[in-house]
Structure 1
Amino acid sequence: MTTPGQTPPTVTGKVMRILEAFAPGDVRLTLTEICRRADLPLATGHRLIAELVAGGFLERLPDASYRVGTRLWQIGIQAARPRELRELALPYMLDLYAETRENIQLAVLRGDRAMYLERLRGPKSVPVLTRVASELPLHATAVGKVLLAFSPPELTERVIAQGLTKHAPNTITDPERLRADLAEVRRTGLAYTVEEMSIGTCSVAAPVYGQGEEVVAALSVVAWRHSADVKRFGPAVRSAARALSKDLAAKDPAAR
């Protein structure tokens, strides 16, 4: 709610708050959950949500919960840079899946988190938390460590200052250990995790470069901890990331 002395949000601002409520990656939200996240009264939220449903931007489900509608998806998928990066990456991701038969993921940096642009998985792949457009912590994922390692040091310090939340048995929560881990990622060009984001999983990721030395994304394999040797996947992930980087470097930077 608006506090005394604070300017009330505009209608546009309220609508943006409603749509942002789905940003954490939740597929379905109730009216109460949306209004709580958007900091809106139920009556206001109900009216605006009804308009968004009528326009196809949100969809009301039989259980009275809501999810992102196809109209919003049609507009969002046209975002140029993510779409072009995803389209260039897909052939290499398919090759990597054919070689490993494990989860293949492509992520980019969004603020202080890793946002997933694409994911491939097979019938026997380990279940993972990621979905397309979802976001996960940088310090607890292999793609996140890559993105963090090749970002300005200020980002690492900001992530540390926010607190290194423990998500699984081996999540790194010690700042000095994280800094050392990131230094190793920069040295080897690969990041590894073993039960750092979820129990039973391991992963390896490599940086994807754009023009020059800018890391624009991270490519990873996620597998079962007890049935896969994640170190064995390192060369394949690095090779696929390098091939994708060459494709990106060959593109006109003004087109991305």
Structure 2
Amino acid sequence: MARSTSGESVMERVLRIIEAFDVSTPVLTVSDIARRADLPVATAHRLVNELIELRMLERDGERRIRIGLRMWELASRSSRVVRLRDVAMPFMEDLHAVVRQHTQLGVLDGDEVLHIERLSAPGSMANATYVAGRLAVHACSAGLVLLAFGPEDVRERLLARPLRRYTPATVTDPQQLRQIFADIRTQGHFLADRMCIPNAVGAAAPIFDANGDILAALTIVVPSDANRIVGHIPALMTAARGISRAVGMAGFSLMLPMASDAKFLAIHRNSRP
């Protein structure tokens, strides 16, 4: 594959162009793309035009660029994330009918939880995340559950460096986090009381793939009332176990990491007008 004078391949530059789009900026000019992708304008212009010809990107009437429909089509044909969402949705809908706030499905992507689905009711509290939104893995219930049941080397790598404190309740001490991980493995869930944002309480339970490996986390989020969410934890755990069983019955393994699938879909999902 042809490389630039910097040694970077065309594929690497194309990926940076695609990743220039995010939730807050689903539509960009070529100059915006060049700046965000750290490319010369001429290079960005050439690659963007080629991606438009391939229908991976689209240009609107004002010559602004957005992610193309074909990208979503290709990602959806065999993506494990799509299959997971399809399996999980009936259980999430039942759980959401009980909670009537936020019900979320997240996977681990590096040091963050990437949320691939969320159900919310009209009038629900403001939430820190959204579909294709990310939260720091150590600061939310889903992330701590994913870490607790994941590989030890992933946990230790995270604990080896300074962790950001998002609220006074965010746990950043390695020894405290190790105890939390042990408690999660014993209890099968975790309740995060205002760890990420001051006015929200979240609870998460693990979802396992057909091989028994941690796959995702199912989360409910309600206003800052820990007593209220405790009553929903049995329903949360029942739904998570149901999704795990359904994944197993479907006969496929969705073992993490799924980051490539999740990123590809997330970019498209949040680049629509």
TM-score calculated relative to the size of structure 1:
0.85
Distance 1:164 1:67 in 2: 34
Task: Tell me the CA shift for residue 30 of structure 1.
Answer: 4.2
Which residue is 1:173 aligned to? 172
Unmatched segments (≥5 aa) in structure 2: 256-273
Task: Tell me the CA shift for residue 112 of structure 1.
Answer: 2.8
Q: Does 1:185 align with 2:176?
A: no
1:44-193 to 2 correspondences below 5 Å: 44-53=43-52, 55-60=54-59, 66-193=65-192
Give yes or no for contact 1:211–1:248 (8 Å, CA) kept in 2: yes
Task: Tell me the CA shift for residue 38 of structure 1.
Answer: 2.3
Distance 1:87 1:135 in 2: 21
Distance 1:64 1:196 in 2: 43
Distance change (3 Å), C-alpha of 1:84 and 1:60: same
Q: Secondary structure at the match of 1:83?
A: helix
Q: Secondary structure at the match of 1:109?
A: strand
Distance 2:11 2:168 in 1: 42
Task: Tell me the CA shift for residue 172 of structure 1.
Answer: 1.6
State which drifts further: 102-111 or 42-51: 42-51
Q: Secondary structure at the match of 2:160?
A: helix
2:248 partner letter: A
- Spell out, residue by residue over 1:34-68, the C-alpha distance to the aligned partner (whole angstroms, 9 max, x if none): 33442212332233234434544334568876543
Q: Secondary structure at the match of 1:229?
A: helix
Distance change (3 Å), C-alpha of 1:65 and 1:26: farther
Give yes or no for contact 1:28–1:65 (8 Å, CA) kept in 2: no
1:250 partner letter: M
- Spell out, residue by residue over 1:116-138, the C-alpha distance to the aligned partner (whole angstroms, 9 max, x if none): 12111111222223232333221
Distance change (3 Å), C-alpha of 1:12 and 1:97: same
2:98 partner letter: E
1:194 partner letter: D
- Spell out, residue by residue over 1:65-87, the C-alpha distance to the aligned partner (whole angstroms, 9 max, x if none): 65433222222223431111110
Task: Tell me the CA shift for residue 217 of structure 1.
Answer: 1.1
Distance 1:232 1:219 in 2: 16
Which residue is 1:222 aligned to? 221
Question: How many positions carry a matched residue from both structures?
Answer: 251
Query: How high is the sequence identity, in percent, across the aligned residues?
Result: 36
Q: How large is the RMSD of aligned CA atoms in angstroms?
A: 2.7
Task: Tell me the CA shift for residue 147 of structure 1.
Answer: 0.5
State which drifts further: 166-175 or 148-157: 166-175
Give yes or no for contact 1:18–1:38 (8 Å, CA) kept in 2: yes
Distance change (3 Å), C-alpha of 1:34 and 1:165: farther
1:15-54 to 2 correspondences below 5 Å: 15-22=14-21, 25-28=23-26, 30-31=28-29, 34-53=33-52
State which drifts further: 12-21 or 40-49: 40-49
Unmatched segments (≥5 aa) in structure 1: none
- Spell out, residue by residue over 1:147-183, the C-alpha distance to the aligned partner (whole angstroms, 9 max, x if none): 1000111111212234312223322222222222121
State which drifts further: 124-133 or 83-92: 124-133
Which has the bigger relative contact order, CA under 8 A and spacing at least 6? 2
Task: Tell me the CA shift for residue 228 of structure 1.
Answer: 6.8
Task: Tell me the CA shift for residue 27 of structure 1.
Answer: 4.2
1:206 partner letter: A
Distance change (3 Å), C-alpha of 1:77 and 1:135: farther
